[in-house]
Amino acid sequence: MRFASLIYLFLLSVSATYAATLPPNFTETTINGIASPTAMEIALDGRIFVCEQGGRLRVIKNGALLPTPFLTLNVDSNGERGLLGVAFDPSFGQLNSFVYVYYTVASSPRHNRVSRFTANGDVAVAGSETVILELDNLSGATNHNGGAIHFGPDGKLYVAVGENATPSNAQTLSNRLGKVLRINRDGSIPTDNPFFNTATGANRSIWALGLRNPFTFAFQPGTGRLFINDVGQNTWEEINDGIAGSNYGWPTTEGATTNPAFRSPLFSYQHGGTSTTGCAIAGGAFYNPLNVRFPSSFLGKYFFADLCTGWIRTFDPATGTAADFASGVVQPVDLKVAPDGSLYYLSINFGNGFVSRVQFNSPTPLAPVIVTEPNTDSAVALESVWLMRDPFPLTTPFNLSADGRTRLSLFVMNLDLQAGENASSVTARLEDAALKPYPLTVETVAKVPRFEWLTQVIVRLPNDTPTAQTLLVSVSLRGQTSNKARIRMK
């Protein structure tokens, strides 16, 4: 990225009003007061953790920026150094409270570091820092630090590292600069890394090489596909297909290449000042949220932005083409899709940063959606008291009442009760293999605490529910019926 050099470049061309131009029926709300933000991550409970380049990790909770930072680090924030990345442990909020950050240490020798902290509510436990990764010492150049960190679907931590303005770093296995690294949660190196047997020591953490400044990257929920954004030099910005062992060619090549030694980008765009060109790709996020709130045409698309020309576009992996989404976005540095289906962008805004939430206001009500297991049509359903998973016994003596009937807890999106509505406003039913319907009694409809976009629906199964087969369950509200999700009965 080019934080310092771009601060003044656009001062005359950007007005004091920072509202982006969005497609019809899309709106945005902003949260201000963030000093030179660089990256953000969204927890499943909806909190947003935002890195400030100067070393503070801020928390946005219930739509408000908390006055007390989660933590404050002593960092070197010269040039593009500073607090640059944040990630939650895959078990965050369940089995542990671990938060990982990427930052430039202020002591000599200067280098970037990945550390883990333990959360206690909205602040870090004092003295809880555990250093996970110490990266190579930096030269006097303060740019090309990378900084993005994310856990992959394999439970490993992926770390994007810039080449520290020394292009030759990107093509050697003798250091970790200009690379994407892959490590275990404790900082140890997985033995199945692609260069584990050819590199030595800490360099065995290298997962891919040939990158200039991979400031942002993203995994696609469901598929686990990885896209790496590489900031170019003079001509091209790249979206690269993240594949183990790949060499993306920098500094030998930039943009598309036919050289078989290198992996050509999936998509690249040239430098310039138009609505499809720019100078620094920033932010990447797949639209595959738990709660789909955008039109279905956005599903599976990859949002990306440019810091210089201030737009957000979508890339379609199926066709390899890009389309416009938003313009007038002031210095975007990161993008995220939240579990509730909103798109967030992070603006550095000449040091006076903000987070903006982009929502789609459907002109017609959205139908309810029963949450299903990843890549299946099987409902995420639990026996309502003991939280047993399927297959469910038709009767159990341990339940909400003495009738011995099984009750199931379903989780539904787009099921927002209006004033005067209650559980009786929602209907539900089962269908057997012959599509014979069985009405269900809806006993409870309530929002899941800390997940306001998710509704818990508890239903009681009827006496004549078929056994030893798979059934389809659906719910309805105001004439809108959900998807049919599968449950199994003993």
pLDDT score at 146: 97
Q: Going along 252-351, which residue ranges are E strands? A: 267-270, 281-286, 302-306, 311-316, 321-326, 332-337, 343-347
Question: Residue 302: in which H helix or E strand, if any?
Answer: strand 302-306
> Please, which residues have CB within 8 angstroms of residue 433's CB and are 6 or more apart in sequence?
469, 470
In the chain the domains, ranked by start, together with CATH numbers, are 3-360 (2.120.10.30), 369-489 (2.60.40)
What pLDDT is stored for residue 2 in this prediction?
Answer: 44
Cβ neighbours of residue 421 closer than 8 Å, sequence gap 6 or more: none
Residue 235: predicted pLDDT: 96
pLDDT digit string (tens) for 381-425?
A: 998 877 888 888 887 765 556 777 889 999 999 999 999 999 999
3-state class (DSSP) for residue 5: helix
How far is 332 from 247, CA to CA, in rounded Å?
27
CA pair distance 379, 373, nearest whole angstrom: 6
Q: Which positions ≥6 away from 141 have C-beta within 8 Å?
A: 79, 164, 165, 166
* 3-state secondary structure (DSSP) of residue 307: coil
Q: Which strands form 206-208's sheet, in the order they lie side by side?
A: 149-151, 157-161, 179-183, 206-208
Residues of the chain with pLDDT under 70: 1-18, 397-401
pTM for the full model?
0.87
Cα torsion 350, 37, 268, 276 to 10°: value is -40
Residue 38's pLDDT is 98
Taken in order 174, 175, 176, 177, is the CA torsion positive or negative?
negative
What's the pLDDT score for residue 399?
59
- One-letter amino acid of 341: G
At residue 95, the 3 state secondary structure works out as coil
The per-residue pLDDT for 400 is 59
Name the helix (H) or strand (E) containing 6.
helix 3-6
| Omega of the bond leading into 332 within 30 degrees of 0 (cis) | no
Contact 116, 139 (CB under 8 A): no
Cα separation values, 450 from 44, 104, 176, 388, 421, Å: 9, 33, 39, 22, 21
**By C-alpha distance, which of 152, 217, 224, 142 is closest to 179?**
217
Calpha distance 367→476 (Å, rounded): 8
- Mean pLDDT, the chain, rounded, equals 93
CA distance 180 to 201: 16
CB 169, CB 161: distance < 8 Å: no
Q: Which residues contact 22 (CB under 8 A, 6 or more apart)?
A: 28, 325, 326, 358
What pLDDT does residue 5 have? 40
Q: With H, G, I as helix, E, B as strand and everything else as coil, classify residue 202.
A: helix
For strand 281-286 and strand 267-270, is the pairing parallel, antiparallel, or unpaired?
A: unpaired
d(CA 269, CA 52): 28
Candidates 140, 10, 246; CA nearest to 230 is 246
Q: Which helix (H) or strand (E) holds 4?
A: helix 3-6
